[in-house]
Amino acid sequence: SILVHLSRGGAEVQMYAPDVPQMHVIDHSKGQPAEAESRNVLVESARIARGKIASLAKLTTADHDAVIFPGGFGAAKNLSTFAVDGKDCKVNREVERVLKDFHKAGKPIGLCCISPVLAAKVLSGAEVTVGHEEEEGGKWPYAGTAGAIKELGGKHCVKETSAVFSLTPVYEAHVDTKNKVVTTPAFMCETELHNIFDGIGAMVKNVLKLTGK
């Protein structure tokens, strides 16, 4: 979704991933870890990147106008230890470096789904959203993440994946203008796929806008 919206926005994209082992290899037909199997995050990321990818260690702020982190369990397991350690999590060293470097340079940072926890951990006082703070009957199954963000030192802002007024859908992203951090809930909400896609689009649009280009 991020790549589609960046393409439509006319952005030139370079993809990066940490060159580290995956925490788990998942058998998605069972939804369970595959025992006695190991994979590398960079190698697996190359599937999505169609081979056009480099080690995250090679990412330099000077070469780019903005950075966007996708979400999902990869962010909670491989970019950090949030899936296991929650508020006591550690962030991958290169991920932390990139976040701090872009923040220091005043360049926009986009995050979606679970990845806003990375900013909450690394950038003290950053405003982010992972959606709602209550499960609301299962619509927001990961609502507890909002509390963890607060404990990490971040400020959580309640946002919708989509809110319908009459027949007009409004897709939301939160923009922390001071820190130039843009976040959207994405799959933190149990909703239709097009709502998630459009929410990510709102995040990407705001990141591109903040670059001033």
Q: Is residue 46 part of a domain?
A: no
pLDDT greater than 60 at residue 170? no
pLDDT of 167 strictly over 90: no
**Contact predicate 15/53, CB 8 Å:** yes
Catalytic residues: 113
In a domain, residue 27? The reply is no
Q: In the prediction, which pLDDT does 37 show? A: 84
Average pLDDT, the chain: 92
**73-113 confidence digits (pLDDT tens):** 999 999 999 999 999 999 999 999 999 999 999 999 999 99
2-42 pLDDT, tens digit each: 999 999 999 999 999 999 999 888 888 888 888 888 899 99
Domain count for the chain? 1
Residue 99 lies in a domain: yes
Contact 10, 21 (CB under 8 A): no
Q: What's 139's domain CATH number? A: 3.40.50.880
> What are phi and psi for residue 153, nearest 5 degrees?
105, 5
Q: Output the pTM of the full model.
A: 0.91
Q: Residue length, the chain?
A: 213
31 beta partners: none
Query: Domain limits at 115?
Result: 1-8+60-211
Per-residue confidence (pLDDT) for residue 113, from 0 to 100: 95
Predicted local distance difference test score (pLDDT) of residue 171: 65
Q: Does residue 80 lie within any of the structural domains? A: yes
In a domain, 17, yes or no: no
Gap between the Cα atoms of 180 and 93, Å rounded: 21
**How far are the Cα atoms of 12, 96, 176, 204 from residue 162, in angstroms, in the given order?**
28, 30, 19, 16
14 assigned to some structural domain: no
The verdict on residue 19 lying in a domain is no
Within a domain: 52: no
